[in-house]
């Protein structure tokens, strides 16, 4: 297939991420903990807006084995209201500054689709990972910015915007379509000097329930890119809708989905519940070690 033949030429298989002077080893899958400093988070209901609550949550994540803490200040759930750059920074900067001061050794990621936000955060706290749910579609300067800043970039797939992405999404072939999307964007990022790219198929971002499970079942299709893969499945509607429960009750389903993602080649699990995800990684590693 043309896509698979050409995609592997972009970069050699990456088994680490370079964040400033620090390196994250991805030879064993790692866990990214979610910190949403928004008033309308679907999971924690805005509890992280309080600095003391947020720092306590990060402390627990670190104790539970988190490798990366991902901080976001704009809700990207389906139909979420848009937020200005000014408001995003007003929420985000105090949070990342507090985390960096209290936990200077933890790797930080910022969940933003705005290049200017990434610049401001890096100016304040140093090198971070930029986690862009839009794959550069919502800010034309994002790719050149991360190339100039020389920071890792999480390239996510999305169809539409958070406001429109669930309006009857359609694919001719979801794996081929998303692979074409990644092929074109990885090529652009490489030409702009981005050294560390992680691909995220974007579970829930412009996908039906069936689309999401086909993606999960065929996650190993993206190994052809020779790049780390992130899976963000935590308590998403694809889990609680399938189980006919609410997001607050979807931990067990999340653990099952995370395990399937690990079996499909995921290198990073982005989660709300760090302890359970770390345990899933440990079990996966035991299974992998048993294969002779």
13 neighbors 2 (Cβ within 8 angstroms)? no
Token pair in block for residue 221: 């299709």
Give the other-Cβ count within 10 Å of 191's Cβ. Answer: 11
Sheet holding 230-231, edge to edge: 197-200, 153-156, 129-132, 107-111, 68-72, 30-36, 268-271, 230-231
72 neighbors 38 (Cβ within 8 angstroms)? yes
Separation between Cα atoms, residue 53 and residue 47, nearest integer Å = 7
Separation between Cα atoms, residue 283 and residue 292, nearest integer Å = 16
Beta bridge mates, 23: 18
Which residues participate in catalysis according to the annotation?
236, 270
Beta bridge mates, 198: 154
| Residues contacting 18, CB < 8 A, separation 6+ | 152, 195, 196
| Residues contacting 73, CB < 8 A, separation 6+ | 36, 37, 38, 83, 87, 88, 89, 91, 92, 95, 111, 112
């Amino acid at each position: 297939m043309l896509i698979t033949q050409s995609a592997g030429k972009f970069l050699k298989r990456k088994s680490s991420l370079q964040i400033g002077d620090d390196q994250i080893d991805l030879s064993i899958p790692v866990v990214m903990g979610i910190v949403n400093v928004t008033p309308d988070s679907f999971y924690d209901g805005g509890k992280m807006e309080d600095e003391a609550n947020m720092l306590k949550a990060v402390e627990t994540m670190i104790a539970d084995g988190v490798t990366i803490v991902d901080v976001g200040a704009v809700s990207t759930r389906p139909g979420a209201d848009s937020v200005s750059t000014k408001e995003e920074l007003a929420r985000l900067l105090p949070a990342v500054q507090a985390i960096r001061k209290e936990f200077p050794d933890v790797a930080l990621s910022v969940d933003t689709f705005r290049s200017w936000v990434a610049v401001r955060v890096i100016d304040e706290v140093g090198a971070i990972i930029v986690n862009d749910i839009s794959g550069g579609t919502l800010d034309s300067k994002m790719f050149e910015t991360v190339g100039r800043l020389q920071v890792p970039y999480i390239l996510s797939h999305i169809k539409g915007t958070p406001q429109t992405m669930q309006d009857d999404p359609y694919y001719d072939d979801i794996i081929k379509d998303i692979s074409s999307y990644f092929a074109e964007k990885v090529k652009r990022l490489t030409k702009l000097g981005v050294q560390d790219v992680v691909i995220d198929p974007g579970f829930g971002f412009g996908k039906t329930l069936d689309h999401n499970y086909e993606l999960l079942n065929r996650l190993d299709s993206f190994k052809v890119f020779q790049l780390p893969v992130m899976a963000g499945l935590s308590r998403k509607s694809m889990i609680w809708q399938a189980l006919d429960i609410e997001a607050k009750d979807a931990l067990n389903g999340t653990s099952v989905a995370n395990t399937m993602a690990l079996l499909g080649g995921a290198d990073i699990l982005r989660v709300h519940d760090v302890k359970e995800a770390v345990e899933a990684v440990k079990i996966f590693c035991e299974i992998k070690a048993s294969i002779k």
